[in-house]
Structure 1
């Protein structure tokens, strides 16, 4: 009897940076039953290699390349047409994981080439910049193209779904699940990391996020400045890289110098050991202007960290008693007072709490397999 081949799903959204979408995709990729469902990827900025390239290829999955539409739009769209002409028949589904509705071409063109399941997946709840007249027109057109081209709508949270799709389009919430065991508190790891970072006796505040308008580093550093006044042993770990424009990274650096915090703020860049770094922290700070449902917020709670989120972030991220929401209208001093007195004495238990709330990757991967297999 001939062995049944796994179905193949074409994923779009993996870039050169380790961000929320990339983390979401690789978590699922790692835990899928690859005898049932295989993820392949399209790199839509093929001038750069995507993160996790080696892991993806070693697992037997494929990576296709399409030139960036920003560097060469004609070539970008033509390469998409050629690519789907050649491979569309092999795929049960195509998924566009996106922080914006300003680009939907893969979903639109996939209908022409007969891919049965065409999914738009919202991972955000706001725009990085003000929307001008031209972009508003593009968004209006894209909503109509999506209505014609998409078969299914996913979102990382209710807020992200309503923001991208509105109230009239039904969507499925797919939680940004994690491997909770990777983040389970470990005192030995904590001691080792704190020693290596020279923060043995410090009150350690952590932040994970690329340097963009969304992540609000300017306010974050102002908050930390006030915390440092309360507790001179406070240090801030900034984990994340620069994406595109370096403006927000430069502003953060200048702010740290302006406040004389050079010796107590560490810019660690993009890191692959975030689960370990979270063991070294004492609390987690995310004063973003907007988010879909931040994976790092789930990870930090699984690591047993008191978490301080801006109230613009969906309350859906508040899975445990560790989550605290503070208005961005509140002063940096008010934020600082609440953060400076935070602590958690039973950190190890929270990995289980997060898993029980349905955010463990094993259950979500099985859910995704079922969704794709049902359509096959």
Structure 2
């Protein structure tokens, strides 16, 4: 094979995190002399790493947002026919029904549906749509993949699927005292300041509005505390206003979408993830790699607990239960450099995971050539 095979990666809206971050991490570490990625992104994406993708040999194709269903299907089918990809890999969960339907019509021989998420309570309209689309989740793909067993079974039921961990470069998240000191100084945190952290888009799923209520209770008992939230999204203005109304604005740091998230973990004392649902909760994995204790809601899959640093608190415990768990965990923080506390995290090493994905593509390519 003189030229690398090209895989069309359907990532939906690129907004600087989530699924596209996983795909980009694999892309950076895969052998690009054998496998190359082309990215199909919604035209209303806000953070497309165009320069990096093109420097690595990839291409970017902008398509209409999936909300414009007819135009979206028509443009995709035309693009699949024109470019002649042998493999299309869709990462948009239950919505993969639509691009893979177009791929099948265009005669793409290998069509992969990848589940990265699940559903949670409270999002009735979204859950109804997901429930309907799940009925067709195995109709158009030829192969199935998922970030966890939980996410795969949620979307594909009993059908066979392959798990690819949302792997990272573990060394870039390892605890670093000098970075911690620098980051805490930037946050205005002293050595004894309790610094809590959360990373995620400001959407209902991530439950940051509840986290602000919890932090108010923590702050009332420990005024020398700070909450750091990284990310952006439609609920950010509401969250900022809520912080002001709760009287905690001076102790909350809204950092927005940042590129050095691995450094922010170093500044924290505790990571908090009160999500309403998660396909995995990759940020909790990253936090554990950096040596942080994590408190997750019971709706985050148990698969995220890859070290002795991770615990779960039901959302039904309410503000008091969560604030007490945070303050209690603070008194029993493990040594952040203790390798025994990180046993199990090796399975998320991108240097081990990328060759697995590469081999997966190459084998699928062989079956159609």
Q: Is TM-score (shorter-chain normalized) higher than 0.5?
A: yes
2:215 pairs with 1:224:
yes
Deviation at 1:253, TM superposition (A): 2.1
CA RMSD of aligned residues (A): 2.2
User: In the alignment, is the contact (CA less than 8 A) between 1:8 and 1:93 conserved in 2?
Assistant: yes
Residues 1:125 and 1:48: Cα distance change in structure 2 (over 3 Å): closer
1:183 is aligned, of 147, 165, 173, to 173
Deviation at 1:75, TM superposition (A): 2.7
More divergent stretch after superposition (282-291 vs 200-209) = 200-209
Q: Per the alignment, in what secondary structure is the counterpart of residue 13 of structure 1?
A: strand
More divergent stretch after superposition (105-114 vs 56-65) = 105-114
Alignment of 1:344-359 (within 5 A): 344-350=333-339, 353=342, 356-359=345-348
Taking the aligned partners of 2:249 and 2:360, their CA distance within structure 1 comes to: 49
Which residue is equivalent to 2:103?
110
Which residue is equivalent to 1:332?
319
2:61 pairs with 1:68:
no
Question: Deviation per CA, 1:151-206, whole angstroms, max 9, x where unpaired?
Answer: 1111111221122122x212222111111001000000011111122113421000
Number of residues of Structure 1 aligned to a counterpart in Structure 2:
361
Q: Per the alignment, in what secondary structure is the counterpart of residue 289 of structure 1?
A: coil
User: In the alignment, is the contact (CA less than 8 A) between 2:293 and 2:334 conserved in 1?
Assistant: no
Question: Deviation per CA, 1:240-284, whole angstroms, max 9, x where unpaired?
Answer: 101xxx3x3233223212221011001110011100010011110
Q: Per the alignment, in what secondary structure is the counterpart of residue 213 of structure 2?
A: helix
Q: Per the alignment, in what secondary structure is the counterpart of residue 38 of structure 2?
A: strand
Which residue is equivalent to 2:202?
211
Give 5+ residue unaligned stretches, structure 1.
none
2:233 pairs with 1:235:
no
Taking the aligned partners of 2:103 and 2:307, their CA distance within structure 1 comes to: 40
Which residue is equivalent to 2:54?
57
Residues 1:344 and 1:11: Cα distance change in structure 2 (over 3 Å): same
Which residue is equivalent to 1:131?
125
Which residue is equivalent to 1:24?
22
Deviation at 1:216, TM superposition (A): 0.7
Q: Per the alignment, in what secondary structure is the counterpart of residue 25 of structure 1?
A: helix
Which residue is equivalent to 1:39?
37
User: In the alignment, is the contact (CA less than 8 A) between 2:15 and 2:45 conserved in 1?
Assistant: no
Taking the aligned partners of 2:139 and 2:97, their CA distance within structure 1 comes to: 11
2:290 pairs with 1:293:
no
2:90 is aligned, of 92, 96, 119, to 96
User: In the alignment, is the contact (CA less than 8 A) between 1:16 and 1:48 conserved in 2?
Assistant: yes
Deviation at 1:356, TM superposition (A): 5.0
Question: Deviation per CA, 1:117-146, whole angstroms, max 9, x where unpaired?
Answer: 21110111116721379x55x8546633x4
Q: Per the alignment, in what secondary structure is the counterpart of residue 83 of structure 1?
A: helix
Alignment of 1:219-368 (within 5 A): 219-242=210-233, 246=234, 248-341=235-328, 342=330, 343-350=332-339, 353=342, 356-368=345-357
User: In the alignment, is the contact (CA less than 8 A) between 1:14 and 1:21 conserved in 2?
Assistant: no
Deviation at 1:217, TM superposition (A): 1.2
Taking the aligned partners of 1:132 and 1:158, their CA distance within structure 2 comes to: 22
User: In the alignment, is the contact (CA less than 8 A) between 2:76 and 2:103 conserved in 1?
Assistant: no
2:166 pairs with 1:170:
no
Which residue is equivalent to 2:358?
369
User: In the alignment, is the contact (CA less than 8 A) between 1:304 and 1:344 conserved in 2?
Assistant: no
User: In the alignment, is the contact (CA less than 8 A) between 1:301 and 1:354 conserved in 2?
Assistant: no
